[in-house]
Structures are given as structure tokens and as C-alpha cells.
Structure 1
Amino acid sequence: MADRQAVLETVFVRLREVIPALRDGDPDAEKDLREYPEFDSLGVLEVLVWLEEEFSLTIPDEELVVDRFCTPGKIADYVVEHS
């Protein structure tokens, strides 16, 4: 099982590349990423593809629900649960 804090830190590194507004300030694991225009359908897809590659995951179609991946914390929890 993956370490949640380590996964969360890795997720933040990637999200800062996709969402420039996250580069400043302290990261908030519960911040709803849907508040950022960059986290549109293409942004979500980029993050999901990255998750699969970075953590050697396969996310089944039935789990491709934005609510499951809408905060950094939820993304990290998904990785921890499926690693």
C-alpha cells in the first residue's frame, strides 16, 4: 500500500503543472479542483492519464467520475486504495 502523504506530495507536483494558481501558497488537500478553469474535461483527462502512468494504475471506466477525483486528497486516497 502506498503512503498517502508521499502520494499527495506527488499529486501536488503534477497539479501545480496543470493549474498555475496552485503554485503559490500552501497546498490544500481538500480544495475542490473544479474551481479552477484548467481543471476542465481536458484537465481532468490529463490528470487521470498521468495517474495511471505515474502509479501503474488502470482506472476502470465505471470509476471515471469527476467527484472521485475532484480534490487532491481524493486523488491521493484513490491511489492508496488501488495500489
Structure 2
Amino acid sequence: MADRQLILDTVFQRLREVIPALRDGEPDAEKDLREYPEFDSLGVLEILVWLESEFSLVIPDEELVVDRFSTPAKIVDYIVASQS
């Protein structure tokens, strides 16, 4: 899956399941997800496990840094870079 917009749409779909506040309004790829209470350590873990499963990734421990996954755009950047 190399289409950046398709990846972003897929990521937003999952984020809406984890963060109900994202269900309303226009998606913002630069929105800091840490502003939502659901994006706590458990929410981050849920997203990371989903990313590994959905995109056939293995995220090394040294890359498990919240800043790397703090916005939908950064999540997509990570996926795209990992698939290259």
C-alpha cells in the first residue's frame, strides 16, 4: 500500500475508533493526538499494535517513541518510510 492518501484514510478510520472526538469534524493530519485523553499509554499501544498488524510492520523497541506517532501525518510518514 503505497498511496499516501489511502494510508492516511485508513489511519484516520482506526483513530476514530480509538478517539471518539475525531468522529466529528474534518480530519486534521497535523493534530497532536496527545491532546486527547484516549491517546494515553494504552491508546498508543493499541494504535501501535494495530499498525504492526494492518501494515505488516515490526516497530523496533528503540523506535517506540510517542513523538514519532503523535500526529496522523507522522504515523503515515512512519508507515511510508517502513514500506520503502
Q: CA deviation at 1:65?
A: 0.3
Which residue type is aligned with residue 21 of structure 1? A
Q: Equivalent residue for 1:19?
A: 19
Q: Equivalent residue for 2:61?
A: 61
Q: Residue deviations 1:51-73, cap 9 Å, x none?
A: 00000000000000000000000
Distance 2:61 2:2 in 1: 23
Q: What does 1:1-83 correspond to in 2, within 5 Å?
A: 2-83=2-83
RMSD: 0.8
Equivalent pairs, count: 83
Distance 2:12 2:2 in 1: 16
Which residue type is aligned with residue 66 of structure 1? V
Runs of 4+ residues over 4 Å off in structure 1? none
Percent identical among aligned pairs is 82
TM-score, with length taken from structure 1? 0.98
CA contact (8 A) 1:2 1:79 kept: no
Q: Which structure has more RCO (C-alpha within 8 Å, separation ≥ 6)?
A: 1
Q: Unpaired segments of 5 or more residues in structure 2?
A: none
Q: Unpaired segments of 5 or more residues in structure 1?
A: none
Q: Matched residue of 1:25: which SS? A: coil
TM-score, with length taken from structure 2? 0.96
